[in-house]
Structure 1
Amino acid sequence: MAIVLRYVDSLGFVKERFIGIVHVKDTSSLTLKNAINEVLTSNKLSFSQIRGQGYDGASNMRGEFNGLKALILQENDTAFYVHCFAHQLQLVVVAVAKKDDGVSDFFEQISLVVNVVCASCKRKDLLREQARERVQKGLCSGDLETGRGLNQETTLIRAGETRWGSHFNTLTSLMKLFADVLVVLDFVKEEGGTLANRQQASGILAYFKSYEFVFYLHTMYDILHLTGTLSKQLQRKDLDILEAASMLYIGARNRRTTKTNRFHFEVEIFNTVVDMQLTEYRDRFSETSTQLLKYMAALSPCDSFAQFDKSKLLKLGKLYKYDFDDSDMIDLEGQLEIFYHSCIKDERFTSLKGISDLSRLMVSTGKHRSYPLVYKLLKLAVILPVATASVERCFLKLKLLKTDLRSKIGDEFLNDTLLCNVETEALTKVEDEKVMEQFQKMYARR
């Protein structure tokens, strides 16, 4: 299990820092909770200091009664849970792909294409050879440009339910290699090893010629291109929860448009898919506390604090009862009033784009000292986790370190190695001489 802390540093910047991995014997919620508690204790932290927790959608993590989030909330009811936005976005795509018959059939056909084309090394080599010849012709004719990162070798990508952007990558690879895929399918149709293989290839080629395939391909490509862009934005380390929520809902609203004059494709396909996607957005993202987000929106500095609402911010402060006692709430009301009038008259605060920008500017201008309770409220809003991208990146690094040659590496050494590999920014501040000095002090060496 990888553990990442999200916090605000002394300069007002939002930071996500990997603090280590823990070997767990099983993935039950109680085991995970105890493991997290040990890590926090070893770093002189406790559950009482947590103000937000975020995981993917596994039942042992987000279960309402016995999940990890529920066990932590039992000890600290202000450790508000946020289901990873990037995972939820992917689940919206998957749900639409399964619930709509037309979209479901479309992705089943796409999956069949991947299976048939990539079923053997011979077919993969043929696909690769066709792509190479096409690129060579394009370069010779001037239709393609040369440059770093251009014309890279690729293959058909299989879609996955939990891999962010995998459905979009599948369609992108198919559109890019479409001519090469046709060559492979023609080969299988004529020279396939079995009758079933030849019939599959023949059926796919016939489906490719239908108007519905073309319409679904471009419709889903456009929709998934939007969600893919959102997914990448959600994986930013400094993204705050208000900005993430606004991006998701704005992206969903902007998709309601017309694509064709024909009733079947406009109403029965396009509008149906978009409506189902919007429904999934509302159902899944409502899991995050609606009241919490509504109160936090009053802190947004956009449009010269147009959404500022002192009453909502006071309600937000009451939710964090361990951070604001009765006397603090009285002082907070006065600080909010003065803070608002101070900021709307200050030109430095007129062009801010989010609460993360506001946090940094308050520190740089010294307002975090003038309005300490407002700044505390702001930090509580900023540290709520948006996505588990930082944890996912740690596991990717782990695959590079935990190789066959390091099959016997111990947990402690693996953790230390991974920590150095992930947190390279902090490691650059460590001097080599101090490392060697510490190494020599451990025990006598020849």
Structure 2
Amino acid sequence: MGIDPVFPMKRRGKRKRQFGESDCQEEILEAEKAFRVKYFFVLVDMAVTSLRDRFKELMVFKDIFGFLLSSGTLKSLSDNELEECCTKFAETFSLDGSSDVEVYDLISELKIMRFTLPNGVMSAMEIFGHVREVDCYPNISIAYRILFTVPVMVASAERSFSKLKLLKNYLRSTMTQERLNGLATLCIKKKLLDEIDIDPIISDFASRNVRRIF
């Protein structure tokens, strides 16, 4: 990072060194120890705790959607294991006993689709593209849509709040919710925004009111 590992020492008055006292750099050692205890260990603990929480979320995600993540995993499951995975998936996203996915139909569709998938390992997105192309597995299509819409981590939410502090300041206290949502989306998805050609949009907006052209 270009930062020299130098610990500044405060100026202290010299004192007479007693007989038998070792000549060591106590000030530097105290500064290094304070940095290690107050900053380094704290950052390491925060990083370890954050990574542990994220991995717990990923394991929960894998426990629910693991059988849909690749064709290799899907083909390696036995019929009983596949039924257990589908049942757990349906129970997780059921509301008042009803679910968007019919469990027994999903099991039957997956058993048939395993034999119709092309050879080689396919990712979840590739399987979903195959399902949409064939257009005869409605429950599998719904299951993969749920898979792609459930967020795995909370980084997007944290990024939204960090951007919100920049957008919603005291000078913009009267901003409407619709405008705030639009500006927040533009800031969060800046990479996609840079790929959009805004000249046609500006021309269309200006053509709606001639006075805006000048």
Is TM (by shorter chain) over 0.5? yes
What is the CA–CA distance in structure 1 between the aligned matches of 2:32 and 2:100, rounded to whole Å? 61
What is the CA–CA distance in structure 1 between the aligned matches of 2:12 and 2:155, rounded to whole Å? 45
Which amino acid counterpart does residue 205 of structure 1 have in structure 2?
A: L
Q: Secondary structure at the match of 1:407?
A: helix
What is the CA–CA distance in structure 2 between the aligned matches of 1:422 and 1:330, rounded to whole Å? 40
What is the CA–CA distance in structure 1 between the aligned matches of 2:203 and 2:108, rounded to whole Å? 54
1:311 CA drift (Å):
1.3
8 A Cα contact 1:299 1:307, kept in partner = no
Equivalent residue in structure 2 for 1:382, among 148, 151, 155:
148
Residue identity over aligned pairs, in percent, reads 16
* TM-score, normalisation: structure 2: 0.59
Structure 1: runs of 5+ lacking an equivalent: 1-150, 155-176, 192-201, 235-240, 247-287
Q: Secondary structure at the match of 1:188?
A: coil
Pick 1 or 2: higher relative contact order, CA cutoff 8 A, min separation 6.
1
Aligned pairs for 1:153-232 within 5 A: 154=3, 177-178=4-5, 180-181=6-7, 184=8, 187-188=9-10, 190=12, 205-206=29-30, 208=32, 227=48, 230=51
8 A Cα contact 2:106 2:139, kept in partner = yes
* TM-score, normalisation: structure 1: 0.33
Tell me the equivalent position of 2:161.
Answer: 395
Kindly report the root-mean-square deviation, in angstroms, between the aligned alpha carbons of the 2 structures. 4.4
What is the CA–CA distance in structure 1 between the aligned matches of 2:109 and 2:135, rounded to whole Å? 11
What is the CA–CA distance in structure 2 between the aligned matches of 1:441 and 1:204, rounded to whole Å? 69
Query: Is residue 322 from structure 1 mapped to residue 99 from structure 2 by the alignment?
Result: yes
Counterparts in 2 of 1:369 and 1:227: CA distance versus 1, 3 Å = farther
1:87-142 per-residue CA deviation (whole Å, 9 max, x = no partner) reads xxxxxxxxxxxxxxxxxxxxxxxxxxxxxxxxxxxxxxxxxxxxxxxxxxxxxxxx
Aligned pairs for 1:387-426 within 5 A: 387-401=153-167, 407-408=171-172, 410-412=174-176, 413-424=179-190, 425=192
Which amino acid counterpart does residue 298 of structure 1 have in structure 2?
A: F
What is the CA–CA distance in structure 2 between the aligned matches of 1:416 and 1:384, rounded to whole Å? 22
Equivalent residue in structure 2 for 1:294, among 55, 63, 72:
63
Q: Secondary structure at the match of 1:370?
A: coil
From the two aligned structures, give the one with the greater strand fraction.
1
Q: Secondary structure at the match of 1:438?
A: helix
Tell me the equivalent position of 1:435.
Answer: 202
1:363 CA drift (Å):
0.5
Equivalent residue in structure 1 for 2:115, among 341, 344, 347:
341
8 A Cα contact 2:131 2:137, kept in partner = no
Tell me the equivalent position of 2:106.
Answer: 332
What is the CA–CA distance in structure 1 between the aligned matches of 2:119 and 2:70, rounded to whole Å? 12
1:239-294 per-residue CA deviation (whole Å, 9 max, x = no partner) reads xx99x624xxxxxxxxxxxxxxxxxxxxxxxxxxxxxxxxxxxxxxxxx6xxx853
What is the CA–CA distance in structure 2 between the aligned matches of 1:347 and 1:224, rounded to whole Å? 45
Q: For the pair shown, which has the larger CA radius of gyration, 1 or 2?
A: 2
What is the CA–CA distance in structure 1 between the aligned matches of 2:195 and 2:207, rounded to whole Å? 21
1:300 CA drift (Å):
3.8
What is the CA–CA distance in structure 1 between the aligned matches of 2:206 and 2:141, rounded to whole Å? 42
Counterparts in 2 of 1:428 and 1:207: CA distance versus 1, 3 Å = closer
Tell me the equivalent position of 1:310.
Answer: 82
8 A Cα contact 1:420 1:427, kept in partner = no
8 A Cα contact 1:359 1:379, kept in partner = no
